[in-house]
Amino acid sequence: MVGPVRRAAVQHLPAALRTARRPVPREFGQFPTRDQYVAYLRHYAERRGVRVEHGVEVTRLQPAVGGGWQVRTNQGERRADHVVVATGVFNRPKPADWPGRDEFRGTLLHAVAYRNAAPFQGRDVLVVGAGSTGFEVAHELATHGARRVRLSVRTAPNILLRMMGGLPADLPVPLFLHLPTAWVDRLLLFMQRRVIGDLSAHGLRPPTEGPISQLLRRGAGTAVVDREVVDAIRSGAFEVVPAVERLDPDGAVLADGKRVDVDTIIEATGYSTGLAELVGHLGVLDDRELPLDGEGAEVAPGLRFVGFVPRPGITGYVGHAARRVGREIAAGRRAPARARALSASSSTG
Protein backbone atom coordinates (compact mmCIF):
# COMPACT_ATOMS: atom_id res chain seq x y z
CA MET A 1 0.00 0.00 0.00
CA VAL A 2 1.37 3.37 -0.99
CA GLY A 3 0.82 5.65 2.01
CA PRO A 4 0.39 9.38 2.57
CA VAL A 5 2.15 12.48 1.36
CA ARG A 6 5.31 12.78 -0.73
CA ARG A 7 7.48 10.34 1.14
CA ALA A 8 5.09 7.45 1.12
CA ALA A 9 5.05 4.84 3.85
CA VAL A 10 5.20 1.49 2.08
CA GLN A 11 3.03 -0.90 4.04
CA HIS A 12 3.09 -4.69 3.93
CA LEU A 13 -0.28 -5.99 5.11
CA PRO A 14 -0.50 -9.36 6.87
CA ALA A 15 -3.60 -11.48 6.53
CA ALA A 16 -4.69 -10.60 10.07
CA LEU A 17 -5.07 -6.95 9.13
CA ARG A 18 -7.63 -7.62 6.45
CA THR A 19 -10.36 -8.13 9.02
CA ALA A 20 -8.94 -5.81 11.71
CA ARG A 21 -11.29 -3.25 13.21
CA ARG A 22 -9.94 -0.77 15.71
CA PRO A 23 -11.87 2.50 16.03
CA VAL A 24 -10.34 5.77 17.18
CA PRO A 25 -10.48 5.86 21.02
CA ARG A 26 -13.57 7.59 22.37
CA GLU A 27 -11.50 9.70 24.75
CA PHE A 28 -10.08 11.52 21.71
CA GLY A 29 -13.48 13.15 21.25
CA GLN A 30 -15.22 14.08 18.01
CA PHE A 31 -12.19 15.87 16.57
CA PRO A 32 -8.83 14.25 17.47
CA THR A 33 -5.75 16.44 17.48
CA ARG A 34 -2.87 15.85 15.11
CA ASP A 35 -0.80 14.18 17.83
CA GLN A 36 -3.68 11.95 18.89
CA TYR A 37 -4.26 10.79 15.34
CA VAL A 38 -0.57 10.06 14.75
CA ALA A 39 -0.47 8.10 18.02
CA TYR A 40 -3.54 6.14 16.93
CA LEU A 41 -1.93 5.17 13.62
CA ARG A 42 1.31 4.12 15.29
CA HIS A 43 -0.50 2.04 17.87
CA TYR A 44 -2.67 0.44 15.18
CA ALA A 45 0.37 -0.55 13.13
CA GLU A 46 2.12 -2.02 16.17
CA ARG A 47 -0.89 -3.97 17.42
CA ARG A 48 -1.82 -5.33 14.00
CA GLY A 49 1.64 -6.17 12.73
CA VAL A 50 1.77 -3.69 9.86
CA ARG A 51 5.36 -3.33 8.71
CA VAL A 52 5.84 0.29 7.68
CA GLU A 53 8.91 1.52 5.81
CA HIS A 54 9.30 5.25 6.40
CA GLY A 55 11.15 7.53 4.00
CA VAL A 56 10.42 5.42 0.93
CA GLU A 57 9.15 7.70 -1.82
CA VAL A 58 7.20 5.92 -4.55
CA THR A 59 7.73 7.89 -7.75
CA ARG A 60 6.23 5.80 -10.55
CA LEU A 61 4.21 2.65 -11.16
CA GLN A 62 4.63 0.61 -14.30
CA PRO A 63 2.99 -2.66 -15.40
CA ALA A 64 5.56 -5.40 -15.09
CA VAL A 65 6.27 -7.91 -17.82
CA GLY A 66 4.37 -11.08 -16.97
CA GLY A 67 1.91 -9.34 -14.64
CA GLY A 68 2.04 -7.35 -11.46
CA TRP A 69 3.67 -3.97 -10.97
CA GLN A 70 7.11 -2.48 -11.11
CA VAL A 71 7.32 0.08 -8.28
CA ARG A 72 9.98 2.74 -8.67
CA THR A 73 11.11 4.29 -5.37
CA ASN A 74 13.93 6.45 -4.05
CA GLN A 75 15.26 3.25 -2.45
CA GLY A 76 15.33 1.23 -5.66
CA GLU A 77 12.88 -0.85 -7.69
CA ARG A 78 10.23 -3.06 -6.09
CA ARG A 79 7.92 -5.68 -7.56
CA ALA A 80 4.35 -6.23 -6.33
CA ASP A 81 1.39 -8.29 -7.46
CA HIS A 82 -1.00 -5.71 -5.98
CA VAL A 83 -0.63 -1.99 -5.31
CA VAL A 84 -3.11 0.07 -3.29
CA VAL A 85 -2.58 3.83 -3.58
CA ALA A 86 -3.89 5.59 -0.47
CA THR A 87 -2.07 8.93 -0.63
CA GLY A 88 -5.29 10.96 -0.50
CA VAL A 89 -6.64 13.98 -2.34
CA PHE A 90 -4.71 16.45 -0.15
CA ASN A 91 -1.24 15.24 -1.10
CA ARG A 92 0.71 18.07 -2.70
CA PRO A 93 0.37 21.78 -1.84
CA LYS A 94 -1.15 23.68 -4.75
CA PRO A 95 0.22 27.24 -4.79
CA ALA A 96 -1.55 29.97 -6.75
CA ASP A 97 -0.11 31.01 -10.12
CA TRP A 98 -0.25 34.76 -9.51
CA PRO A 99 1.79 37.05 -11.73
CA GLY A 100 4.51 38.72 -9.67
CA ARG A 101 5.12 35.86 -7.24
CA ASP A 102 8.86 36.22 -7.69
CA GLU A 103 8.70 39.98 -7.06
CA PHE A 104 7.11 39.81 -3.60
CA ARG A 105 9.71 40.68 -0.96
CA GLY A 106 7.81 39.48 2.08
CA THR A 107 7.15 36.00 3.46
CA LEU A 108 5.15 33.74 1.14
CA LEU A 109 4.18 30.26 2.33
CA HIS A 110 1.55 27.62 1.75
CA ALA A 111 -0.72 26.75 4.66
CA VAL A 112 0.87 23.28 4.79
CA ALA A 113 3.89 24.99 6.41
CA TYR A 114 1.81 26.93 8.96
CA ARG A 115 2.06 25.61 12.52
CA ASN A 116 0.84 28.39 14.82
CA ALA A 117 0.53 32.16 15.07
CA ALA A 118 3.69 32.79 17.10
CA PRO A 119 6.02 33.63 14.16
CA PHE A 120 3.52 36.17 12.82
CA GLN A 121 3.00 38.37 15.85
CA GLY A 122 3.01 42.03 14.89
CA ARG A 123 2.81 41.23 11.18
CA ASP A 124 0.38 42.34 8.51
CA VAL A 125 -0.87 39.05 7.05
CA LEU A 126 -2.98 38.21 3.99
CA VAL A 127 -4.52 34.73 4.09
CA VAL A 128 -5.74 33.54 0.69
CA GLY A 129 -8.51 30.95 0.43
CA ALA A 130 -11.94 30.62 2.03
CA GLY A 131 -12.00 26.98 2.99
CA SER A 132 -11.84 25.64 6.53
CA THR A 133 -8.06 26.14 6.66
CA GLY A 134 -8.15 29.75 5.48
CA PHE A 135 -10.81 30.73 7.99
CA GLU A 136 -9.09 28.96 10.89
CA VAL A 137 -5.65 30.39 10.11
CA ALA A 138 -7.06 33.93 9.74
CA HIS A 139 -8.95 33.59 13.03
CA GLU A 140 -5.96 32.25 14.95
CA LEU A 141 -3.67 34.97 13.61
CA ALA A 142 -6.20 37.70 14.43
CA THR A 143 -6.63 36.49 18.01
CA HIS A 144 -2.98 35.66 18.72
CA GLY A 145 -1.01 38.77 17.99
CA ALA A 146 -0.88 39.52 14.27
CA ARG A 147 -1.07 43.28 13.70
CA ARG A 148 -3.64 43.03 10.91
CA VAL A 149 -5.24 40.07 9.13
CA ARG A 150 -7.10 39.96 5.83
CA LEU A 151 -8.79 36.93 4.27
CA SER A 152 -8.93 36.92 0.47
CA VAL A 153 -11.99 35.20 -1.01
CA ARG A 154 -12.54 34.36 -4.69
CA THR A 155 -15.54 32.02 -4.52
CA ALA A 156 -18.17 32.59 -1.84
CA PRO A 157 -18.06 29.48 0.36
CA ASN A 158 -20.82 27.59 2.05
CA ILE A 159 -20.25 27.83 5.80
CA LEU A 160 -21.13 25.07 8.22
CA LEU A 161 -20.58 25.17 11.96
CA ARG A 162 -18.36 22.39 13.28
CA MET A 163 -20.80 21.46 16.04
CA MET A 164 -24.56 21.85 16.29
CA GLY A 165 -26.60 20.46 19.16
CA GLY A 166 -23.56 18.72 20.58
CA LEU A 167 -22.88 16.73 17.39
CA PRO A 168 -20.69 17.30 14.33
CA ALA A 169 -22.77 19.35 11.92
CA ASP A 170 -21.51 17.38 8.91
CA LEU A 171 -22.61 14.06 10.43
CA PRO A 172 -25.59 13.62 8.05
CA VAL A 173 -23.63 14.55 4.89
CA PRO A 174 -22.93 10.89 3.91
CA LEU A 175 -26.70 10.33 3.98
CA PHE A 176 -27.28 13.53 2.01
CA LEU A 177 -25.05 12.20 -0.76
CA HIS A 178 -27.70 9.54 -1.44
CA LEU A 179 -30.57 12.03 -1.67
CA PRO A 180 -31.51 14.33 -4.58
CA THR A 181 -28.78 16.97 -4.77
CA ALA A 182 -31.07 19.91 -5.55
CA TRP A 183 -33.33 19.12 -2.57
CA VAL A 184 -30.41 18.80 -0.13
CA ASP A 185 -28.80 22.00 -1.45
CA ARG A 186 -32.01 23.95 -0.80
CA LEU A 187 -32.23 22.53 2.71
CA LEU A 188 -28.62 23.33 3.59
CA LEU A 189 -28.75 26.82 2.09
CA PHE A 190 -31.84 27.52 4.18
CA MET A 191 -30.00 26.27 7.29
CA GLN A 192 -27.04 28.53 6.50
CA ARG A 193 -29.28 31.57 6.31
CA ARG A 194 -30.87 30.71 9.64
CA VAL A 195 -27.72 29.67 11.54
CA ILE A 196 -24.94 31.75 9.96
CA GLY A 197 -26.95 34.70 8.67
CA ASP A 198 -26.04 37.23 6.00
CA LEU A 199 -22.37 38.23 6.07
CA SER A 200 -22.52 40.45 2.96
CA ALA A 201 -21.82 43.58 5.00
CA HIS A 202 -18.58 41.97 6.14
CA GLY A 203 -17.34 41.07 2.64
CA LEU A 204 -18.76 37.56 2.31
CA ARG A 205 -21.44 37.26 -0.34
CA PRO A 206 -24.01 34.44 -0.09
CA PRO A 207 -22.87 31.32 -1.95
CA THR A 208 -24.27 30.87 -5.44
CA GLU A 209 -24.00 27.06 -5.40
CA GLY A 210 -25.26 24.59 -2.81
CA PRO A 211 -22.92 22.60 -0.54
CA ILE A 212 -23.54 19.19 -2.08
CA SER A 213 -23.25 20.52 -5.64
CA GLN A 214 -19.92 22.13 -4.77
CA LEU A 215 -18.72 18.98 -3.04
CA LEU A 216 -19.53 16.79 -6.03
CA ARG A 217 -18.18 19.22 -8.62
CA ARG A 218 -15.02 20.44 -6.88
CA GLY A 219 -14.47 18.04 -4.00
CA ALA A 220 -14.64 21.10 -1.75
CA GLY A 221 -16.59 24.30 -1.25
CA THR A 222 -17.82 24.13 2.34
CA ALA A 223 -15.91 25.79 5.17
CA VAL A 224 -16.48 23.93 8.43
CA VAL A 225 -15.70 26.36 11.24
CA ASP A 226 -16.36 27.08 14.90
CA ARG A 227 -18.91 29.70 15.94
CA GLU A 228 -16.02 31.90 17.14
CA VAL A 229 -14.80 32.29 13.54
CA VAL A 230 -18.17 33.64 12.39
CA ASP A 231 -18.26 35.97 15.38
CA ALA A 232 -14.77 37.22 14.48
CA ILE A 233 -15.92 38.10 10.97
CA ARG A 234 -18.84 40.08 12.35
CA SER A 235 -16.64 41.88 14.88
CA GLY A 236 -14.03 42.81 12.28
CA ALA A 237 -11.25 40.85 14.00
CA PHE A 238 -10.10 40.05 10.48
CA GLU A 239 -11.16 41.64 7.22
CA VAL A 240 -12.60 39.80 4.21
CA VAL A 241 -11.26 41.16 0.90
CA PRO A 242 -11.65 40.16 -2.79
CA ALA A 243 -9.49 37.67 -4.66
CA VAL A 244 -5.81 38.30 -5.34
CA GLU A 245 -5.05 39.09 -8.99
CA ARG A 246 -1.29 39.62 -8.79
CA LEU A 247 1.55 40.33 -6.42
CA ASP A 248 4.08 43.15 -6.37
CA PRO A 249 7.15 43.73 -4.19
CA ASP A 250 5.16 45.10 -1.25
CA GLY A 251 1.84 43.29 -1.37
CA ALA A 252 -1.05 42.30 -3.60
CA VAL A 253 -3.47 43.78 -6.10
CA LEU A 254 -7.03 42.58 -5.54
CA ALA A 255 -9.83 41.84 -7.97
CA ASP A 256 -11.48 45.20 -7.21
CA GLY A 257 -8.31 47.02 -8.23
CA LYS A 258 -7.24 47.96 -4.71
CA ARG A 259 -3.73 47.31 -3.40
CA VAL A 260 -2.92 45.97 0.03
CA ASP A 261 0.52 46.29 1.60
CA VAL A 262 1.37 43.14 3.55
CA ASP A 263 4.55 41.53 4.78
CA THR A 264 3.22 37.95 4.86
CA ILE A 265 0.98 35.95 2.50
CA ILE A 266 -0.30 32.52 3.54
CA GLU A 267 -1.79 30.46 0.72
CA ALA A 268 -4.69 28.29 1.86
CA THR A 269 -5.20 27.48 -1.80
CA GLY A 270 -5.65 23.74 -1.57
CA TYR A 271 -3.86 20.64 -2.70
CA SER A 272 -3.53 18.32 -5.66
CA THR A 273 -3.48 14.55 -5.55
CA GLY A 274 0.06 14.34 -6.95
CA LEU A 275 -1.01 11.28 -8.94
CA ALA A 276 -0.04 12.56 -12.39
CA GLU A 277 3.65 11.73 -11.95
CA LEU A 278 2.89 8.41 -10.30
CA VAL A 279 0.25 6.93 -12.62
CA GLY A 280 -0.71 9.63 -15.14
CA HIS A 281 0.72 7.56 -18.00
CA LEU A 282 -1.58 4.61 -17.25
CA GLY A 283 -4.91 6.13 -18.31
CA VAL A 284 -6.44 5.61 -14.86
CA LEU A 285 -7.05 9.29 -13.94
CA ASP A 286 -9.82 11.69 -14.89
CA ASP A 287 -9.36 15.35 -15.87
CA ARG A 288 -9.24 16.41 -12.19
CA GLU A 289 -6.27 14.12 -11.53
CA LEU A 290 -8.49 11.74 -9.57
CA PRO A 291 -8.56 7.97 -10.10
CA LEU A 292 -11.40 6.57 -12.22
CA ASP A 293 -12.45 4.71 -9.08
CA GLY A 294 -11.34 6.03 -5.70
CA GLU A 295 -13.16 3.52 -3.50
CA GLY A 296 -11.04 0.42 -3.97
CA ALA A 297 -12.20 -1.24 -7.19
CA GLU A 298 -9.48 -2.33 -9.57
CA VAL A 299 -8.78 0.25 -12.28
CA ALA A 300 -6.16 -2.09 -13.77
CA PRO A 301 -5.31 -5.63 -12.68
CA GLY A 302 -3.75 -5.38 -9.22
CA LEU A 303 -4.04 -1.57 -9.02
CA ARG A 304 -6.51 0.12 -6.68
CA PHE A 305 -7.05 3.55 -5.15
CA VAL A 306 -8.61 3.97 -1.71
CA GLY A 307 -9.81 7.16 -0.04
CA PHE A 308 -10.15 9.41 -3.10
CA VAL A 309 -13.72 10.45 -2.31
CA PRO A 310 -15.02 13.91 -1.34
CA ARG A 311 -16.84 13.32 1.91
CA PRO A 312 -16.57 13.95 5.66
CA GLY A 313 -15.77 11.12 8.07
CA ILE A 314 -13.16 9.84 5.65
CA THR A 315 -11.29 7.71 8.21
CA GLY A 316 -14.24 5.45 8.96
CA TYR A 317 -15.27 5.32 5.32
CA VAL A 318 -11.77 4.32 4.22
CA GLY A 319 -11.71 1.68 6.94
CA HIS A 320 -14.71 -0.04 5.37
CA ALA A 321 -13.18 0.21 1.90
CA ALA A 322 -9.83 -1.13 3.12
CA ARG A 323 -11.43 -4.23 4.65
CA ARG A 324 -13.28 -4.91 1.43
CA VAL A 325 -10.10 -4.46 -0.62
CA GLY A 326 -8.21 -6.80 1.69
CA ARG A 327 -10.85 -9.49 1.30
CA GLU A 328 -10.89 -9.14 -2.47
CA ILE A 329 -7.10 -9.31 -2.77
CA ALA A 330 -6.99 -12.33 -0.44
CA ALA A 331 -9.68 -14.05 -2.52
CA GLY A 332 -7.71 -13.40 -5.71
CA ARG A 333 -10.66 -11.88 -7.50
CA ARG A 334 -9.99 -10.93 -11.08
CA ALA A 335 -10.22 -7.41 -12.41
CA PRO A 336 -13.38 -6.36 -14.28
CA ALA A 337 -13.24 -6.21 -18.05
CA ARG A 338 -12.68 -2.44 -18.05
CA ALA A 339 -9.62 -2.78 -15.83
CA ARG A 340 -8.16 -5.55 -17.98
CA ALA A 341 -8.65 -3.40 -21.07
CA LEU A 342 -6.94 -0.45 -19.41
CA SER A 343 -4.00 -2.59 -18.45
CA ALA A 344 -3.69 -4.08 -21.90
CA SER A 345 -3.48 -0.60 -23.42
CA SER A 346 -0.81 0.60 -20.93
CA SER A 347 2.87 0.67 -21.86
CA THR A 348 5.04 -2.01 -20.30
CA GLY A 349 8.32 -0.27 -21.10
Distance from C-alpha of 58 to C-alpha of 55, rounded to nearest angstrom: 10
Q: What are the extents of the domains in the chain?
A: 10-91+273-345, 93-270
**Region 10-91+273-345: CATH code:** 3.50.50.60
Instruction: Tell me the whole-structure pTM to 2 decimals.
Output: 0.81
Burial status of residue 172 (CB atoms within 10 A of its CB: 0-12, 13-18, 19 or more): middle
CA angle 167, 168, 169 (to 5 degrees): 105
With beta carbons less than 8 A apart as the criterion, state whether 309 and 295 touch: yes
Q: Could you read off the pLDDT of 144-194 as tens digits, one per residue? A: 999 999 999 998 888 988 877 776 767 777 777 788 989 988 988 888 888
Domains 10-91+273-345 and 93-270 share a fold: yes
With beta carbons less than 8 A apart as the criterion, state whether 128 and 266 touch: yes
pLDDT class of 220 with cuts at 50, 70, 90: low
Question: Any idea which of 77-86, 139-148, 287-296, 305-314 has the lowest mean pLDDT?
Answer: 305-314
Task: Answer yes or no: CATH 3.30.1180.20 is held by domain 93-270.
Answer: no
